[in-house]
Structure 1
Amino acid sequence: MSSLARLAEFIYIFNKYKDVAEKSIKEYLEYFATSKATSKGTQDVERLRQWYLSDNETRKRYMTWQQELDDMVYEERERANAEKRRAEKEKSRADEAEARADKYEKILKEHGLL
Protein backbone atom coordinates (compact mmCIF):
# COMPACT_ATOMS: atom_id res chain seq x y z
CA MET A 1 0.00 0.00 0.00
CA SER A 2 1.41 3.40 -0.93
CA SER A 3 2.06 5.92 1.81
CA LEU A 4 -0.53 8.25 0.25
CA ALA A 5 -3.18 5.53 0.34
CA ARG A 6 -2.21 4.72 3.92
CA LEU A 7 -2.51 8.40 4.87
CA ALA A 8 -5.96 8.55 3.26
CA GLU A 9 -6.96 5.46 5.24
CA PHE A 10 -5.80 7.05 8.50
CA ILE A 11 -7.65 10.28 7.74
CA TYR A 12 -10.80 8.30 7.02
CA ILE A 13 -10.48 6.35 10.28
CA PHE A 14 -9.67 9.44 12.36
CA ASN A 15 -12.64 11.31 10.92
CA LYS A 16 -14.94 8.52 12.13
CA TYR A 17 -14.35 9.68 15.72
CA LYS A 18 -17.94 10.95 15.93
CA ASP A 19 -19.20 7.36 15.55
CA VAL A 20 -17.05 5.90 18.36
CA ALA A 21 -18.82 5.18 21.63
CA GLU A 22 -15.74 4.68 23.84
CA LYS A 23 -14.93 8.17 25.19
CA SER A 24 -11.14 7.77 25.55
CA ILE A 25 -10.75 6.37 22.04
CA LYS A 26 -13.06 9.03 20.65
CA GLU A 27 -10.95 11.80 22.26
CA TYR A 28 -7.74 10.56 20.64
CA LEU A 29 -9.32 10.00 17.24
CA GLU A 30 -10.80 13.50 17.41
CA TYR A 31 -7.38 14.91 18.33
CA PHE A 32 -5.71 13.16 15.38
CA ALA A 33 -8.49 14.27 13.03
CA THR A 34 -8.74 17.90 14.17
CA SER A 35 -5.50 18.66 16.09
CA LYS A 36 -7.69 20.00 18.91
CA ALA A 37 -6.65 18.76 22.35
CA THR A 38 -9.89 18.55 24.33
CA SER A 39 -8.97 16.13 27.13
CA LYS A 40 -6.16 15.76 29.64
CA GLY A 41 -4.66 12.88 27.64
CA THR A 42 -4.73 14.69 24.31
CA GLN A 43 -3.43 17.88 25.94
CA ASP A 44 -0.45 15.85 27.20
CA VAL A 45 0.14 14.52 23.69
CA GLU A 46 -0.09 18.03 22.26
CA ARG A 47 2.30 19.40 24.88
CA LEU A 48 4.85 16.69 23.99
CA ARG A 49 4.34 17.33 20.29
CA GLN A 50 4.99 21.02 20.75
CA TRP A 51 8.10 20.29 22.81
CA TYR A 52 9.47 17.95 20.13
CA LEU A 53 8.76 20.55 17.47
CA SER A 54 10.55 23.29 19.41
CA ASP A 55 13.59 21.28 20.56
CA ASN A 56 16.12 21.32 17.71
CA GLU A 57 18.32 18.59 19.18
CA THR A 58 15.37 16.23 19.55
CA ARG A 59 14.21 17.00 16.01
CA LYS A 60 17.71 16.33 14.71
CA ARG A 61 17.90 13.00 16.57
CA TYR A 62 14.46 12.05 15.28
CA MET A 63 15.41 12.85 11.70
CA THR A 64 18.63 10.84 12.07
CA TRP A 65 16.68 7.95 13.59
CA GLN A 66 14.12 8.13 10.78
CA GLN A 67 16.91 8.04 8.20
CA GLU A 68 18.43 5.01 9.95
CA LEU A 69 15.07 3.26 9.85
CA ASP A 70 14.65 4.10 6.17
CA ASP A 71 18.16 2.79 5.47
CA MET A 72 17.45 -0.47 7.34
CA VAL A 73 14.21 -0.97 5.37
CA TYR A 74 16.04 -0.30 2.10
CA GLU A 75 18.87 -2.71 2.96
CA GLU A 76 16.45 -5.44 4.01
CA ARG A 77 14.48 -5.04 0.77
CA GLU A 78 17.73 -5.26 -1.20
CA ARG A 79 18.67 -8.47 0.67
CA ALA A 80 15.22 -9.93 0.03
CA ASN A 81 15.39 -9.02 -3.67
CA ALA A 82 18.88 -10.53 -3.99
CA GLU A 83 17.66 -13.73 -2.31
CA LYS A 84 14.66 -13.84 -4.64
CA ARG A 85 16.91 -13.42 -7.70
CA ARG A 86 19.24 -16.16 -6.40
CA ALA A 87 16.29 -18.51 -5.86
CA GLU A 88 14.96 -17.76 -9.35
CA LYS A 89 18.38 -18.56 -10.88
CA GLU A 90 18.55 -21.84 -8.96
CA LYS A 91 15.07 -22.77 -10.12
CA SER A 92 16.00 -21.91 -13.69
CA ARG A 93 19.10 -24.14 -13.47
CA ALA A 94 17.04 -26.96 -11.97
CA ASP A 95 14.44 -26.61 -14.73
CA GLU A 96 17.18 -26.71 -17.38
CA ALA A 97 18.72 -29.83 -15.80
CA GLU A 98 15.31 -31.50 -15.68
CA ALA A 99 14.68 -30.61 -19.33
CA ARG A 100 18.06 -32.15 -20.31
CA ALA A 101 17.26 -35.30 -18.34
CA ASP A 102 13.87 -35.56 -20.07
CA LYS A 103 15.55 -35.08 -23.45
CA TYR A 104 18.12 -37.82 -22.79
CA GLU A 105 15.46 -40.15 -21.41
CA LYS A 106 13.39 -39.65 -24.59
CA ILE A 107 16.42 -40.39 -26.79
CA LEU A 108 17.25 -43.53 -24.83
CA LYS A 109 13.63 -44.74 -25.04
CA GLU A 110 13.59 -44.09 -28.80
CA HIS A 111 16.67 -46.28 -29.19
CA GLY A 112 15.26 -48.98 -26.95
CA LEU A 113 17.94 -48.52 -24.32
CA LEU A 114 15.48 -47.75 -21.55
Structure 2
Amino acid sequence: MKKYEELTICDNFMFAKVFSNADIAQDFLQDILKIDIEKISVVSEATLQEDPFHKSVRLDVQAREGDSGNGRSFDIELQMIDTSELPKRARYYQGMLDLDALGKGVNYDELKEQYILFLCPEDIFKAGKPVYQFQNREETAPNILLGDLCYKNFYIFSKYREVTDEVTREYMQYFATQKYESERIKRIHAFVERYRNDPVAKKAYMTLEQELNIRYKKGLEKGRAETRGEEKVAVARRMLAKGMSIAEIVELVAISEAEVLGLQKEMQ
Protein backbone atom coordinates (compact mmCIF):
# COMPACT_ATOMS: atom_id res chain seq x y z
CA MET A 1 0.00 0.00 0.00
CA LYS A 2 1.01 3.61 -0.56
CA LYS A 3 2.39 5.78 2.18
CA TYR A 4 -0.48 7.71 3.69
CA GLU A 5 1.03 11.08 2.81
CA GLU A 6 1.10 10.07 -0.88
CA LEU A 7 -2.61 9.31 -1.19
CA THR A 8 -4.58 11.22 -3.84
CA ILE A 9 -8.23 11.43 -4.79
CA CYS A 10 -7.62 8.36 -6.98
CA ASP A 11 -6.92 6.13 -3.98
CA ASN A 12 -10.08 4.47 -2.72
CA PHE A 13 -9.43 5.29 0.93
CA MET A 14 -9.00 9.01 0.22
CA PHE A 15 -11.84 9.06 -2.30
CA ALA A 16 -14.25 7.57 0.23
CA LYS A 17 -13.06 9.98 2.92
CA VAL A 18 -13.51 13.08 0.77
CA PHE A 19 -16.85 12.06 -0.70
CA SER A 20 -18.22 11.07 2.69
CA ASN A 21 -18.77 14.81 3.09
CA ALA A 22 -22.38 15.31 2.05
CA ASP A 23 -21.77 18.77 0.55
CA ILE A 24 -18.96 17.46 -1.67
CA ALA A 25 -20.98 14.45 -2.79
CA GLN A 26 -24.14 16.46 -3.40
CA ASP A 27 -22.39 19.14 -5.46
CA PHE A 28 -20.62 16.47 -7.49
CA LEU A 29 -23.86 14.59 -8.20
CA GLN A 30 -25.74 17.74 -9.15
CA ASP A 31 -22.94 18.94 -11.40
CA ILE A 32 -22.40 15.60 -13.13
CA LEU A 33 -26.03 14.49 -13.46
CA LYS A 34 -27.51 17.97 -14.08
CA ILE A 35 -30.31 17.44 -11.58
CA ASP A 36 -31.41 19.30 -8.47
CA ILE A 37 -30.99 17.24 -5.32
CA GLU A 38 -32.43 17.86 -1.89
CA LYS A 39 -30.18 17.34 1.11
CA ILE A 40 -28.55 13.90 1.05
CA SER A 41 -27.09 11.59 3.65
CA VAL A 42 -23.86 9.79 2.79
CA VAL A 43 -22.27 6.55 3.97
CA SER A 44 -18.75 5.84 2.77
CA GLU A 45 -17.59 2.25 2.31
CA ALA A 46 -21.11 0.99 3.02
CA THR A 47 -21.67 -2.77 3.11
CA LEU A 48 -24.96 -4.23 1.90
CA GLN A 49 -25.89 -7.86 2.48
CA GLU A 50 -29.26 -9.50 1.91
CA ASP A 51 -28.45 -12.44 4.20
CA PRO A 52 -25.39 -14.48 5.26
CA PHE A 53 -25.86 -16.89 2.34
CA HIS A 54 -25.55 -14.30 -0.44
CA LYS A 55 -22.65 -12.18 -1.63
CA SER A 56 -22.38 -8.83 0.13
CA VAL A 57 -21.29 -5.64 -1.62
CA ARG A 58 -19.06 -2.85 -0.39
CA LEU A 59 -19.92 0.51 -1.90
CA ASP A 60 -17.37 3.33 -2.04
CA VAL A 61 -19.93 6.08 -1.48
CA GLN A 62 -23.65 5.50 -0.98
CA ALA A 63 -25.92 8.54 -0.82
CA ARG A 64 -29.64 8.93 -0.39
CA GLU A 65 -31.88 11.93 -0.80
CA GLY A 66 -34.09 12.84 2.13
CA ASP A 67 -37.80 12.08 2.22
CA SER A 68 -38.49 15.78 1.73
CA GLY A 69 -36.98 15.42 -1.75
CA ASN A 70 -37.50 12.68 -4.31
CA GLY A 71 -35.92 9.95 -2.19
CA ARG A 72 -33.42 9.10 -4.91
CA SER A 73 -30.39 6.92 -4.20
CA PHE A 74 -26.85 7.21 -5.54
CA ASP A 75 -23.78 5.02 -5.60
CA ILE A 76 -20.42 6.53 -6.60
CA GLU A 77 -17.65 4.04 -7.34
CA LEU A 78 -13.98 4.74 -8.06
CA GLN A 79 -12.71 1.82 -10.14
CA MET A 80 -9.03 2.16 -11.00
CA ILE A 81 -8.63 -1.36 -12.43
CA ASP A 82 -10.66 -2.89 -15.25
CA THR A 83 -11.77 -6.18 -13.72
CA SER A 84 -13.77 -7.04 -16.87
CA GLU A 85 -17.01 -7.49 -14.91
CA LEU A 86 -18.04 -3.93 -14.06
CA PRO A 87 -21.31 -4.00 -16.06
CA LYS A 88 -22.39 -7.16 -14.23
CA ARG A 89 -21.26 -5.68 -10.94
CA ALA A 90 -23.43 -2.64 -11.68
CA ARG A 91 -26.35 -5.01 -12.24
CA TYR A 92 -25.75 -6.68 -8.86
CA TYR A 93 -25.35 -3.34 -7.11
CA GLN A 94 -28.70 -2.26 -8.53
CA GLY A 95 -30.43 -5.27 -7.00
CA MET A 96 -28.77 -4.84 -3.62
CA LEU A 97 -29.56 -1.13 -3.52
CA ASP A 98 -33.19 -1.90 -4.33
CA LEU A 99 -33.32 -4.44 -1.51
CA ASP A 100 -31.79 -1.89 0.83
CA ALA A 101 -34.33 0.75 -0.18
CA LEU A 102 -37.48 -1.37 -0.27
CA GLY A 103 -38.71 -2.60 3.10
CA LYS A 104 -40.70 -5.77 3.60
CA GLY A 105 -44.30 -5.39 2.50
CA VAL A 106 -43.63 -2.16 0.58
CA ASN A 107 -45.03 -1.88 -2.94
CA TYR A 108 -42.69 -1.82 -5.93
CA ASP A 109 -43.98 1.58 -6.98
CA GLU A 110 -42.19 2.96 -3.92
CA LEU A 111 -38.84 2.38 -5.65
CA LYS A 112 -37.23 5.72 -6.48
CA GLU A 113 -34.70 6.82 -9.08
CA GLN A 114 -31.35 5.12 -8.67
CA TYR A 115 -28.02 6.27 -10.08
CA ILE A 116 -24.91 4.08 -10.16
CA LEU A 117 -21.80 5.98 -11.24
CA PHE A 118 -18.42 4.44 -12.02
CA LEU A 119 -15.33 6.64 -12.34
CA CYS A 120 -12.69 4.78 -14.37
CA PRO A 121 -9.30 5.80 -15.79
CA GLU A 122 -9.61 3.62 -18.90
CA ASP A 123 -12.35 2.98 -21.44
CA ILE A 124 -13.72 -0.39 -20.35
CA PHE A 125 -16.08 -0.50 -23.35
CA LYS A 126 -13.33 0.25 -25.91
CA ALA A 127 -15.72 2.44 -27.90
CA GLY A 128 -13.84 5.72 -27.58
CA LYS A 129 -16.42 7.67 -25.58
CA PRO A 130 -15.53 9.73 -22.49
CA VAL A 131 -18.93 9.15 -20.87
CA TYR A 132 -21.33 6.21 -21.18
CA GLN A 133 -24.91 6.57 -19.94
CA PHE A 134 -27.16 3.51 -19.77
CA GLN A 135 -30.82 2.93 -19.07
CA ASN A 136 -33.15 0.16 -20.20
CA ARG A 137 -34.94 0.70 -23.52
CA GLU A 138 -37.03 -1.35 -25.93
CA GLU A 139 -34.57 -2.89 -28.37
CA THR A 140 -36.44 -2.24 -31.61
CA ALA A 141 -37.84 1.13 -30.52
CA PRO A 142 -35.17 2.92 -28.41
CA ASN A 143 -37.52 5.83 -27.73
CA ILE A 144 -39.58 3.52 -25.50
CA LEU A 145 -38.09 3.41 -22.00
CA LEU A 146 -38.62 0.52 -19.61
CA GLY A 147 -39.22 3.05 -16.86
CA ASP A 148 -37.38 1.21 -14.07
CA LEU A 149 -35.78 4.54 -13.05
CA CYS A 150 -32.29 3.06 -12.87
CA TYR A 151 -29.35 4.82 -14.52
CA LYS A 152 -25.82 3.47 -14.84
CA ASN A 153 -23.11 5.91 -15.95
CA PHE A 154 -19.43 5.30 -16.60
CA TYR A 155 -17.03 8.27 -16.67
CA ILE A 156 -13.67 7.62 -18.35
CA PHE A 157 -11.61 10.37 -16.79
CA SER A 158 -8.46 9.80 -18.87
CA LYS A 159 -10.57 11.14 -21.77
CA TYR A 160 -11.46 14.35 -19.95
CA ARG A 161 -10.35 16.50 -22.90
CA GLU A 162 -13.20 15.02 -24.96
CA VAL A 163 -15.92 15.84 -22.42
CA THR A 164 -18.09 18.61 -23.86
CA ASP A 165 -19.65 19.77 -20.60
CA GLU A 166 -17.22 22.17 -18.91
CA VAL A 167 -18.09 21.31 -15.31
CA THR A 168 -17.93 17.55 -15.88
CA ARG A 169 -14.62 18.05 -17.67
CA GLU A 170 -13.21 19.88 -14.62
CA TYR A 171 -14.01 16.93 -12.37
CA MET A 172 -12.63 14.40 -14.83
CA GLN A 173 -9.45 16.43 -15.31
CA TYR A 174 -8.87 16.48 -11.57
CA PHE A 175 -9.21 12.71 -11.32
CA ALA A 176 -6.88 12.26 -14.28
CA THR A 177 -4.18 14.80 -13.36
CA GLN A 178 -4.86 16.07 -9.80
CA LYS A 179 -4.70 19.56 -11.33
CA TYR A 180 -7.44 22.10 -10.72
CA GLU A 181 -8.42 25.67 -11.46
CA SER A 182 -12.04 26.18 -10.41
CA GLU A 183 -13.20 26.82 -6.86
CA ARG A 184 -15.35 23.67 -6.83
CA ILE A 185 -12.34 21.44 -7.52
CA LYS A 186 -10.11 23.47 -5.22
CA ARG A 187 -12.60 22.67 -2.46
CA ILE A 188 -12.28 18.93 -3.11
CA HIS A 189 -8.49 19.13 -3.11
CA ALA A 190 -8.59 21.05 0.17
CA PHE A 191 -10.31 18.04 1.73
CA VAL A 192 -7.60 15.76 0.34
CA GLU A 193 -4.94 17.94 1.98
CA ARG A 194 -6.94 18.10 5.18
CA TYR A 195 -7.22 14.32 5.46
CA ARG A 196 -3.53 13.87 4.65
CA ASN A 197 -2.81 15.84 7.83
CA ASP A 198 -5.54 14.26 9.91
CA PRO A 199 -4.03 11.86 12.50
CA VAL A 200 -7.37 10.08 13.00
CA ALA A 201 -7.71 9.36 9.28
CA LYS A 202 -4.07 8.27 9.12
CA LYS A 203 -4.60 5.86 12.01
CA ALA A 204 -7.64 4.38 10.24
CA TYR A 205 -5.56 3.90 7.10
CA MET A 206 -2.72 2.26 9.03
CA THR A 207 -5.21 -0.06 10.73
CA LEU A 208 -6.60 -1.01 7.33
CA GLU A 209 -3.07 -1.66 6.07
CA GLN A 210 -2.36 -3.94 9.03
CA GLU A 211 -5.60 -5.86 8.46
CA LEU A 212 -4.78 -6.34 4.78
CA ASN A 213 -1.27 -7.54 5.65
CA ILE A 214 -2.69 -10.05 8.13
CA ARG A 215 -5.15 -11.32 5.52
CA TYR A 216 -2.34 -11.58 2.97
CA LYS A 217 -0.15 -13.58 5.35
CA LYS A 218 -3.04 -15.87 6.27
CA GLY A 219 -3.71 -16.38 2.58
CA LEU A 220 -0.08 -17.32 1.99
CA GLU A 221 -0.10 -19.72 4.93
CA LYS A 222 -3.32 -21.31 3.73
CA GLY A 223 -1.91 -21.64 0.23
CA ARG A 224 1.26 -23.26 1.53
CA ALA A 225 -0.74 -25.64 3.71
CA GLU A 226 -2.91 -26.59 0.75
CA THR A 227 0.21 -27.13 -1.36
CA ARG A 228 1.75 -29.34 1.32
CA GLY A 229 -1.48 -31.30 1.53
CA GLU A 230 -1.58 -31.76 -2.25
CA GLU A 231 2.04 -32.93 -2.23
CA LYS A 232 1.26 -35.49 0.48
CA VAL A 233 -1.68 -36.81 -1.51
CA ALA A 234 0.48 -37.12 -4.63
CA VAL A 235 3.15 -39.06 -2.71
CA ALA A 236 0.52 -41.30 -1.12
CA ARG A 237 -0.93 -42.07 -4.56
CA ARG A 238 2.49 -43.11 -5.87
CA MET A 239 3.10 -45.31 -2.83
CA LEU A 240 -0.27 -47.01 -3.27
CA ALA A 241 0.52 -47.58 -6.93
CA LYS A 242 3.73 -49.34 -5.88
CA GLY A 243 1.80 -51.63 -3.56
CA MET A 244 2.94 -50.24 -0.23
CA SER A 245 0.71 -50.95 2.76
CA ILE A 246 -1.67 -48.41 4.25
CA ALA A 247 0.19 -48.54 7.57
CA GLU A 248 3.50 -47.71 5.86
CA ILE A 249 1.98 -44.79 3.97
CA VAL A 250 0.36 -43.36 7.11
CA GLU A 251 3.68 -43.54 8.96
CA LEU A 252 5.92 -42.20 6.20
CA VAL A 253 3.71 -39.48 4.71
CA ALA A 254 2.01 -38.28 7.91
CA ILE A 255 -1.43 -38.63 6.37
CA SER A 256 -4.50 -40.14 8.04
CA GLU A 257 -5.62 -43.70 7.43
CA ALA A 258 -9.02 -42.46 6.29
CA GLU A 259 -7.39 -40.28 3.63
CA VAL A 260 -5.29 -43.19 2.36
CA LEU A 261 -8.35 -45.44 2.22
CA GLY A 262 -10.18 -42.74 0.29
CA LEU A 263 -7.33 -42.47 -2.21
CA GLN A 264 -7.21 -46.23 -2.53
CA LYS A 265 -10.92 -46.31 -3.35
CA GLU A 266 -10.49 -43.57 -5.97
CA MET A 267 -7.69 -45.51 -7.65
CA GLN A 268 -9.62 -48.77 -7.91
TM-score by length of 2: 0.30
Q: 238, 246, 253: which is aligned to 1:99? A: 238
C-alpha distance in structure 1 between counterparts of 2:179 and 2:230, whole Å: 53
Deviations 1:38-94 (A, max 9, x none): 263x243134335445xx5xx111211111111111100000000001101111111
What is residue 35 of structure 1 aligned with on the other side?
179
What is residue 65 of structure 1 aligned with on the other side?
204
Letter of the 1:101 partner, please give it. Answer: L
Gaps of 5+ in 1: 106-114
C-alpha distance in structure 1 between counterparts of 2:226 and 2:173, whole Å: 48
C-alpha distance in structure 2 between counterparts of 1:46 and 1:14, whole Å: 17
Cα 1:14–1:72 shift into 2, 3 Å: same
What is residue 48 of structure 1 aligned with on the other side?
191
C-alpha distance in structure 2 between counterparts of 1:50 and 1:98, whole Å: 61
C-alpha distance in structure 2 between counterparts of 1:80 and 1:91, whole Å: 16
1:76-87 pair list within 5 angstroms:
76-87=215-226
C-alpha distance in structure 2 between counterparts of 1:88 and 1:48, whole Å: 46
More strand by share: 2
Cα 1:52–1:37 shift into 2, 3 Å: farther
Bigger RCO (CA 8 Å, 6+ sep): 2
Cα 1:26–1:49 shift into 2, 3 Å: same
Cα 1:23–1:52 shift into 2, 3 Å: same
How far apart are 1:16 and its partner, in Å?
A: 3.1
C-alpha distance in structure 2 between counterparts of 1:50 and 1:96, whole Å: 58
Larger radius of gyration: 1
C-alpha distance in structure 2 between counterparts of 1:92 and 1:51, whole Å: 52
Query: Following TM superposition, where does structure 1 have runs of at least 4 consecutive aligned residues deviating by more than 6 angstroms?
Result: none
3-state DSSP of counterpart to 1:104:
coil
Q: 54, 68, 90: which is aligned to 2:229? A: 90
Identity across aligned pairs (percent)? 16
Deviations 1:15-52 (A, max 9, x none): 53102345554221212315214263x24313433544
